[in-house]
Chains A and B, each alone.
Chain A
Amino acid sequence: MILTFYKNLSDPKKVIKNITSLGAIQNCVLRDEQNILDPVFEVASAALPDDFNYVYCDYTGRYYFTGNAIMVRTGLWRIPCHVDVLSSHYEKYKTVSATITRNETVRNGYLIDGNYKTYAYKECVTRKFPVAFDTDSLILITVG
């Protein structure tokens, strides 16, 4: 099992992440009963790459966020991980069509946005109509 170590600079919720490869280590195993979504990898290596926070496991075919690596003994490390479902399965769900509820760039401003903030007070503006009543006429009505 090969673990490829990365430094991830992207937000965990970013689909296509900005990652830098820090190298791969081949002697990796999953001990005992392991959940592939939250596995703990055992890595037989004298040292781990510096600043890694993200790995790819060729065996599970998934990307993982890493927790704090634990040195079990000299030359053996345990790395708790949690699967990055966004990046791991992007190729599977990328063609799925869905209703985009909100988006940063594609937007319809005339849809009511409950999160939008306004002040507690309002501005009052008056706008006059162009023509006012400015005359008086006397009307006399008689019979005859």
Chain B
Amino acid sequence: MAVVKSSGVITKFPILIDVELDNIDFSVAPSGLYSANANTYVGNNPIFRSDNAAIFSDAFTFDIQTAFPVGTDLATMKAGNRRLSQRKYVFDIVQVYGNNHYMKLHFKKIDGSTTVIENMTFDGAENNVITIEEYPNNPNHNVAFAARIRDTRHDLTGIALYVGFAVQWRADNFSYSLGQPSYIFIQETLEENGDQFLYVDENDFNDEDYGDESSEDGYGIDGTPDFDHSSDVIGVPSDPTVSTGTVGFMNVYNVGQGALSGLGEYLFPELDPSQWSDVTEVLRGIAGIFAYRDSIQYVVDLHAIPVTPVTGASKYIKLGALETDISQPVCSSDYVNFDCGTISIPERFRNFLDYTEVSCKIYIPFFGFVDLKPEYWASGSIGLKYKFNVIDGSFMAFLVSTSSKSQLANTVIGQYSGSACLHLPVVAASYGSIVSGLISGSAAMATAGTKETSPGSVSGAMEGAMTAGNFQPKMSQSNDYNCSAAYLGCREAYLLIEYPVQSFSAKYPHDSGLPANITRTIQSMLGSGYTVIESIDLSGLGITETEIAELKDIFAGGFYL
């Protein structure tokens, strides 16, 4: 059998494809890529296909080698009175991706010399096949080819081709009259998986693989994109350079509950006048009470946040000019990044259902539910990252998407602001501010939908891709200074996915066919089963109009090839 190997990781050219021919039963005439009577391929799958624009530069080379294993004595592999004598190599460029199709191919035989065998200019014409025949006298003759492709207009983004290798038998007396040519064909399909090409055995395909894409899509002249449609990476931003520490007036401590109790006792010690022995101590004690108790005005805020701040060395808590004897870690940064991680969910059906019939919401802790298009996570991953402001508990949540279908790579596809902060009353005034914050927070909730569609809360890409209504939060939390409701909410981010339940009849492809949308001759589709051709030009064939009308009705209604 023929074994096709790629060079593994496809990151740049040259690409080496080894075709090892081993264990060939020359007594059996295989069928497949080449028919015995007409030297035309009938296979559908290119042996090698690459459409990853990132791996192409303006000029590149790739190597194709077809060779019997070194040391193979082909003379011992003969069957009957026939022996291997002629070999045929076919390179068929079936598709080129790019705005223009002008490129040069230089095929060279690598056998000590590097003579150019044939040049070909791909100009979009249908026939772009190079057939090279070898008549080696030595049955152990190994041959390798190199094909160099130069993109003359610097716009080539991909290429797909068939590689055929045929072996023809002749008689020992070198007569052509004995036997039909037998062809060994190479039809393995290499399927892109990330940066690697993996083997896909045709026999493994079944009804569950309904999602396989046909080798052509139906729009555009030949599926060539009109522009470079790859995405630029839009990542999570870095922290702002300005922080409380740079201002210099504020002290931010990550305090423990025990330290808070100690601070309270420090500021409001129990008074014991019996210990005041004279007037001086009485005056000093009264002055200390007012001095300490006035220090509470220097407490700006005390609140809880759901993340651990970045802290440095511990310092004594300062309240204005008063430095207490209670030491606590100082927050060294106003900002904390929190990563909820990434979920990778493959396509469930591997067909259009994964995108048209699947609906999804993401629950963003401290914010609520947000609708999420399947294109942003199916066949890829979706991540959720937060950037918290320790000072006021506000945050920005970032949805980061990677999806091969949507051409997204670690791209921020949504940004949502909120507040996850539980304010704790320190003095009566602060409690009053919390109550007023509750009222203002309710007002903010009432206008949450409007805020959600503003440019500051939704990325520009999302605005273009989705309607504003999809982004309106289905569950809102309060924000600003009162975030009690948000703080009591579920603290785990999750996806809520609604999958359709498909009903796939085993005979559905036979009875109804599956969407194909490819251009083929009817002859080339023989044996492919149920077929629908909605429109076809049958003029000039010498068929009566009545029969043409009937043929078109049959084609449009479905028939069997």
Hey, which bits of chain A sit against chain B, CB under 8 A?
10-11, 13-16, 37, 83, 85-86, 88-89, 92-113, 115-119, 121-144
The answer on a CB contact under 8 Å between B328 and A140 is yes
CB distance from B418 to the nearest CB of A (A): 13
B547 within 8 A of A: yes
Given A118-B501, A129-B492, the answer on whether A106 and B252 have CB atoms closer than 8 Å is: no
Question: Which of B249, B331, B560 is the one whose CB lies under 8 Å from A143?
Answer: B249
The answer on a CB contact under 8 Å between A144 and B321 is yes
Question: Which of B211, B390, B526, B541 is the one whose CB lies under 8 Å from A93?
Answer: B541
Task: Compute how far the CA of A125 lies from the CA of B305 in the bound complex, rounded to whole angstroms.
Answer: 30
B153 within 8 A of A: no
Given A99-B534, A119-B501, A129-B384, the answer on whether A89 and B541 have CB atoms closer than 8 Å is: yes
Chain B residue numbers with a CB within 8 Å of A116 are 352-353, 502, 504
The answer on a CB contact under 8 Å between A139 and B521 is no
Chain A residue numbers with a CB within 8 Å of B425 are none
Chain A residue nearest in CB terms to B536: A98
B90 within 8 A of A: no
Given A139-B255, A139-B390, the answer on whether A119 and B503 have CB atoms closer than 8 Å is: yes
CB distance from A144 to the nearest CB of B (A): 4
Task: Compute how far the CA of A115 lies from the CA of B505 in the bound complex, rounded to whole angstroms.
Answer: 12
Chain A residue nearest in CB terms to B495: A127
The answer on a CB contact under 8 Å between A85 and B525 is no
Question: Which of A98, A105, A123 is the one whose CB lies under 8 Å from B522?
Answer: A98
Which of B26-34, B63-71, B338-346, B431-439 contacts the other chain? Answer: B338-346
Task: Compute how far the CA of A11 lies from the CA of B559 in the bound complex, rounded to whole angstroms.
Answer: 9
For this complex, 20 residue pairs linking A to B, each with C-beta atoms less than 8 Å apart, are A15-B522, A97-B519, A101-B516, A103-B513, A103-B528, A108-B514, A109-B210, A111-B517, A118-B500, A122-B500, A125-B496, A125-B499, A127-B497, A131-B338, A132-B492, A135-B308, A138-B255, A144-B318, A144-B321, A144-B323
Hey, which bits of chain B sit against chain A, CB under 8 A?
44, 210-214, 217-218, 244, 249-257, 260, 298-309, 317-323, 328, 331, 338-343, 345, 349-353, 355-357, 359, 365, 384, 390-391, 393, 420, 422, 424, 491-505, 509-510, 512-523, 525-526, 528-538, 541-544, 546-547, 550-551, 554-555, 557-561
Question: Which of B321, B384, B538 is the one whose CB lies under 8 Å from A96?
Answer: B538
The 9 closest A-B pairs by CB, nearest first: A104-B529, A109-B351, A102-B513, A130-B341, A107-B514, A109-B211, A111-B515, A144-B318, A119-B501
Task: Compute how far the CA of A88 lies from the CA of B554 in the bound complex, rounded to whole angstroms.
Answer: 14
Given A96-B541, A108-B217, the answer on whether A102 and B498 have CB atoms closer than 8 Å is: no
Chain B residue nearest in CB terms to A103: B516
Chain A residue numbers with a CB within 8 Å of B538 are 93, 96
Majority SS of interface residues in chain B? mixed
The answer on a CB contact under 8 Å between A142 and B298 is yes
Task: Compute how far the CA of A30 lies from the CA of B396 in the bound complex, rounded to whole angstroms.
Answer: 86
CB distance from A138 to the nearest CB of B (A): 5
Chain A residue nearest in CB terms to B212: A109
The answer on a CB contact under 8 Å between A118 and B340 is no
The answer on a CB contact under 8 Å between B305 and A101 is no
Question: Which of A13, A127, A141 is the one whose CB lies under 8 Å from B558?
Answer: A13
The answer on a CB contact under 8 Å between A118 and B502 is yes
Chain A residue numbers with a CB within 8 Å of B534 are 99, 101
Task: Compute how far the CA of A26 lies from the CA of B299 in the bound complex, rounded to whole angstroms.
Answer: 115
Q: Given contacts A92-B542, A102-B514, A140-B252, could you give 20 more A-B pairs where the C-beta distance is less than 8 Å?
A: A10-B560, A13-B559, A85-B543, A93-B536, A93-B538, A102-B530, A103-B529, A104-B530, A104-B531, A109-B349, A118-B357, A118-B500, A118-B503, A119-B503, A121-B501, A133-B365, A135-B306, A138-B260, A142-B298, A143-B320
Task: Compute how far the CA of A83 lies from the CA of B306 in the bound complex, rounded to whole angstroms.
Answer: 79
CB distance from B262 to the nearest CB of A (A): 12
Chain B residue numbers with a CB within 8 Å of A89 are 541, 543, 547, 551
The answer on a CB contact under 8 Å between B560 and A11 is yes
The answer on a CB contact under 8 Å between B543 and A93 is yes
CB distance from B237 to the nearest CB of A (A): 20
The answer on a CB contact under 8 Å between A95 and B357 is no
Given A93-B551, A110-B351, the answer on whether A140 and B533 have CB atoms closer than 8 Å is: no
Chain B residue nearest in CB terms to A10: B560
Chain A residue nearest in CB terms to B490: A132
Task: Compute how far the CA of A97 lies from the CA of B520 in the bound complex, rounded to whole angstroms.
Answer: 5
The answer on a CB contact under 8 Å between B558 and A140 is no
CB distance from B437 to the nearest CB of A (A): 16
Given A100-B519, A104-B530, A138-B260, the answer on whether A115 and B512 have CB atoms closer than 8 Å is: yes
Task: Compute how far the CA of A9 lies from the CA of B308 in the bound complex, rounded to whole angstroms.
Answer: 77
The answer on a CB contact under 8 Å between B253 and A112 is no
Question: Which of B44, B393, B502, B536 is the one whose CB lies under 8 Å from A117?
Answer: B502
CB distance from A65 to the nearest CB of B (A): 12
Question: Which of A119, A122, A125, A128 is the one whose CB lies under 8 Å from B492?
Answer: A128
CB distance from B199 to the nearest CB of A (A): 20
Question: Which of B213, B340, B491 is the one whose CB lies under 8 Å from A108?
Answer: B213
Chain B residue numbers with a CB within 8 Å of A111 are 352, 515-517
Task: Compute how far the CA of A40 lies from the CA of B504 in the bound complex, rounded to whole angstroms.
Answer: 44
Given A100-B531, A109-B212, A139-B301, the answer on whether A14 and B559 have CB atoms closer than 8 Å is: yes
The answer on a CB contact under 8 Å between A106 and B499 is no
Chain B residue numbers with a CB within 8 Å of A98 are 519-522, 533, 535-537, 555
The answer on a CB contact under 8 Å between B514 and A100 is no
Chain B residue numbers with a CB within 8 Å of A119 are 500-503
The answer on a CB contact under 8 Å between A104 and B510 is yes
Chain B residue nearest in CB terms to A119: B501
Chain B residue numbers with a CB within 8 Å of A97 are 519-521
The answer on a CB contact under 8 Å between A37 and B547 is yes
Task: Compute how far the CA of A59 lies from the CA of B331 in the bound complex, rounded to whole angstroms.
Answer: 99
The answer on a CB contact under 8 Å between A108 and B214 is yes
Given A89-B551, A96-B541, the answer on whether A117 and B300 have CB atoms closer than 8 Å is: no
Task: Compute how far the CA of A4 lies from the CA of B457 in the bound complex, rounded to whole angstroms.
Answer: 78
Question: Which of B44, B301, B502, B504 is the one whose CB lies under 8 Å from A141?
Answer: B301
Task: Compute how far the CA of A117 lies from the CA of B505 in the bound complex, rounded to whole angstroms.
Answer: 9
